[in-house]
Amino acid sequence: MNYKNFPMVPRVVFGRGSFNQINDILAPKRTSIYAPFIFLLDNVFKNNPWLTSRIKLSYDDRIIFVSSKEEPKTSQVDELVEDIILKSKERPSGIIGIGGGSLLDMAKAVALLITNEGDAQQYQGWDLIKNPGIYHVGIPTISGTGAEVSRTTILTGPKLKLGINSDYTPFDQVILDPELTAGVPKQQWFYTGMDCYVHCVESLNGTYLNEFSKTYGEKSFDLCKEIFLDDNLSEEEAQNKLMMASWHGGMSIAYSQVGVAHAMSYGLSFLLGVKHGIGNCLVFDHLEEFYPEGVKIFKQMKEKHGIELPTGICKDLSDDDFDTMIRVALSLEPLWENAVGKNWKQTITPEKLRGIYKKI
Ligand code: NAD
Ligand code: ZN
């Protein structure tokens, strides 16, 4: 048995208002006055001086606004990397991603592709990255994905939606400032929060479970129940707790895996561009068979917050479309092995997945 030697985020700041320390944290990491810091910010923060005015740009530093309407694509990463290399006098001092999972993943991927030749799609998979990326910092502004702790950056490429999983992927620094999540719209708060909840359920009910994953997963699971089912948290407490739930949920799957909802949600996302959080919800809603208790609680959370999931998403799809989604979902072998066990291929057939997709 070979145990995984798991890299972790070496530095993290937690606290309301901790984003104010950004300039002090970055300053010692500047490699030269010709080596800029590149800030990748979610478009939603354009014209938001409450956030942007706290970033002090020096020398050639710049802010690039990035849309998260669609999830990160390998081509988008390649374009950003090219633009950054072309416009920087020297290799940048660092990449700082500010936003949700989309922006965090974009920042990780860009940092890696600056030092690894070729296109992002070449590195989708496990441990294909050869050189450490440049210094990269993650600052989440919405909680749930665990992208702030994970060793992957999930990208949609021409053939697959698949992460760049590597020891060089995790951030060198994370700033957890729950205040930054204040403006998140309710629906989005629920969907991204449920990503965290589903991470816990899939980790805690997987065959890969071990005490490392279990302790993180249980803590995160309890926090999610407190946040999404109880009535006694202030808004600030709920923000603080969800940020830590996301962290713990991410740590839990780091040493295990996700499961059925994620595998099938990748299929939806690849074919239809359904985003990760809502995609997981759409699938998870029909997974009683795999996660009876988890799905029951999920339905309670949905009801409590008046969330109505869209229906009929797959109703007009062709056979080819279903085949594409099934192919993408089945390609994620470790997820199925975690969910169902070593002999998963005996029960997880294309017909079985088609049946579930048809309900969505
Ligand atoms: P997101 O980053 O796509 O953001 C969702 C929406 O929230 C966007 O419209 C964004 O503009 C908005 N938003 C973000 N912060 C806001 C704020 N403070 N105020 C107002 N609006 C705000 O959503 P997400 O659910 O955080 O991330 C999904 C992405 O994360 C997917 O691409 C998925 O593949 C990826 N992901 C990565 C990992 C990983 O380990 N790397 C894990 C899970 C998911
Ligand atoms: Zn997820």
- pLDDT (0 to 100) of residue 152: 96
Mean pLDDT of 130-147: 98
Q: 259-274, pLDDT tens digit by residue?
A: 999 999 999 999 999 9
Q: What is the rounded distance in angstroms from the CA atom of residue 309 to the CA atom of residue 47?
A: 31
Nearest CA to ligand 1 atom 34: 154
Closest ligand 1 atom number to CA of residue 150: 40
- As to burial, measured by CB atoms within 10 angstroms (0-12 exposed, 13-18 middle, 19+ buried), residue 13 is middle
Q: What is the rounded distance in angstroms from the CA atom of residue 61 to the CA atom of residue 89?
A: 11
Q: What is the rounded distance in angstroms from the CA atom of residue 119 to the CA atom of residue 279?
A: 27
Q: 40-60, pLDDT tens digit by residue?
A: 999 999 999 999 999 999 999
Q: What is the rounded distance in angstroms from the CA atom of residue 161 to the CA atom of residue 154?
A: 7
Strands (E), 83-157: 94-99, 125-126, 136-140, 154-156
- pLDDT (0 to 100) of residue 1: 72
- pLDDT (0 to 100) of residue 110: 98
- pLDDT (0 to 100) of residue 160: 82
8 A C-beta contact, residue 280 and residue 195: yes
- pLDDT (0 to 100) of residue 61: 98
- pLDDT (0 to 100) of residue 62: 98
Looking at all shown ligands, the one closest to residue 42's CA atom is 1
Pairing of strands 94-99, 37-42: parallel
8 A C-beta contact, residue 151 and residue 170: yes
Query: Is the pLDDT score of 21 beyond 90?
Result: yes
Q: What is the rounded distance in angstroms from the CA atom of residue 70 to the CA atom of residue 154?
A: 12
Mean pLDDT, the chain, rounded, equals 97
Closest to 68 measured CA to CA, from 107, 95, 96: 107
Closest to 264 measured CA to CA, from 203, 327, 320, 172: 327
| Residue 102 CB–ligand 1 contact under 6 Å | yes
- What is the amino acid identity at position 285? D
Q: 277-335, pLDDT tens digit by residue?
A: 999 999 999 999 999 999 999 999 999 999 999 999 999 999 999 999 999 999 999 99
Mean pLDDT of 157-168: 91
DSSP-assigned states of every residue in 282-322? HHHTT-TTT-HHHHHHHHHHHHHTT------TTTT--HHHH
| Residue 97 CB–ligand 1 contact under 6 Å | no
| Residue 154 CB–ligand 1 contact under 6 Å | yes
- pLDDT (0 to 100) of residue 159: 83
Q: What is the rounded distance in angstroms from the CA atom of residue 175 to the CA atom of residue 55?
A: 13
| Residue 170 CB–ligand 1 contact under 6 Å | no
Contacts of 273 (CB under 8 A, 6+ apart): 70, 71
Closest to 262 measured CA to CA, from 146, 351, 176: 146
Mean pLDDT of 82-92: 98
| Residue 176 CB–ligand 1 contact under 6 Å | no
Determine the distance separating the centroid of ligand 2 and the alpha carbon of 195, expressed in angstroms: 5
- pLDDT (0 to 100) of residue 2: 83
